[in-house]
Amino acid sequence: MPRIIDLEMNLPRSEEEPGYWDAMQGRPGNPVADRQPRPPGYGFDNYQHIFKGRPLSPEAAPPPPMEDDGGITKFIADMDKAGIAFGVLGSSNATMARICTAHPDRFIGLSATSPLDGMTGVRNFERLVRDHHIGGLRVVALYNGIPASDRRYYPLYAKCVELDVPVRVYTAMPYANDREYDIGHPRHLDQVAMDFPELRIVAGLAGWPWVTDMIALLRRHPNLYCDTAAHRPRHFATPGSGWEGFLQFGNTLLQDKIMVGLSRSTFNIPFETLIAEYQALPLRPAVLEKWFYGNAKTFLRRG
């Protein structure tokens, strides 16, 4: 059984604060109090059109009725069964602080601190890292509509360097059609990496459909990595999928730069199925071990 560090884990619904996903899936930016109903199929509802035939991800689906999902106990048991040693969480700050404090050897939480909060947000982020076991920053233009290169993030990036914690940046095209299609373009990483060469950055979701740009930037910046979250692993080897270069370079020159995000809740299938799909890719065994575990161990400073 391989050892795995999973770069994208969503907690069971029973562990999350009520209203968390509703707050994340509204209009980009700060909604007004008297907001009006949105047209059918607009915004995050468009994921239902794009991904017909598969269960909706937590980001796209309305929360189901609360049920006994086993909570964190079953979640960790599922990790153990699949050989997942450690996971990266994106959640509300309060939930991550609680979970990461209770299980510091199993999870690292990344705070989605708003760049609109200025130095108040910076000080709160530092408090979360120093006192509440939050392990880094999460920058998600998909939700707030603010690209990673926006200078309002720069005080937070400087604090990440000072605290020696990483940042994970949403890097992909959103299917939520109420925001710019290129708000997660890899080019936004380039300016940040130039201005903060010491900052450890992981490009979450690997930059599709701008895969060639992503490859070039991974070669260009020593502290830039990427993860494979939200993509079904079997498609990386599908001819015509656009991933051909990613797989070629990921097996050779970029083998030390890629980490897996299993995204189990996105696909609503077992960890073991996703792991088996990675194992079926035409990757050399030593490279697959790096994707699964070694690169993330280095990037996240685990040991």
Q: Each residue of 215-225: pLDDT tens digit?
A: 999 999 999 99
Query: Quick check: 67 pLDDT over 70?
Result: no
Residues 147 and 188: beta-carbon distance below 8 Å: yes
Query: Quick check: 43 pLDDT over 80?
Result: yes
Query: Quick check: 107 pLDDT over 80?
Result: yes
Q: Report the CATH number of the 4-27+41-299 domain.
A: 3.20.20.140
3-state SS class at 276: helix
Which residues are 9's β-sheet partners?
A: 89
3-state SS class at 72: helix
Query: Quick check: 273 pLDDT over 50?
Result: yes
Q: What is the pLDDT of residue 53?
A: 59
Average of per-residue pLDDT across 66-81:
89
Give the predicted TM-score (pTM) of the model: 0.93
* Annotated domain spans of the chain: 4-27+41-299
**What's the distance, CA 248 to chain centroid?**
23
3-state SS class at 122: helix
User: How far, in Å, CA of 220 to CA of 140, rounded?
Assistant: 23
Outline where DSSP puts E strands in the chain.
4-9, 84-90, 107-111, 134-139, 167-170, 201-204, 224-227, 258-259
User: How far, in Å, CA of 231 to CA of 238, rounded?
Assistant: 12
Of 24, 1, 12, which Cα lies nearest the Cα of 82?
A: 1
Residues 299 and 202: beta-carbon distance below 8 Å: yes
Confidence of residue 255 (pLDDT cuts 50, 70, 90): very high
Q: What is the pLDDT of residue 58?
A: 47
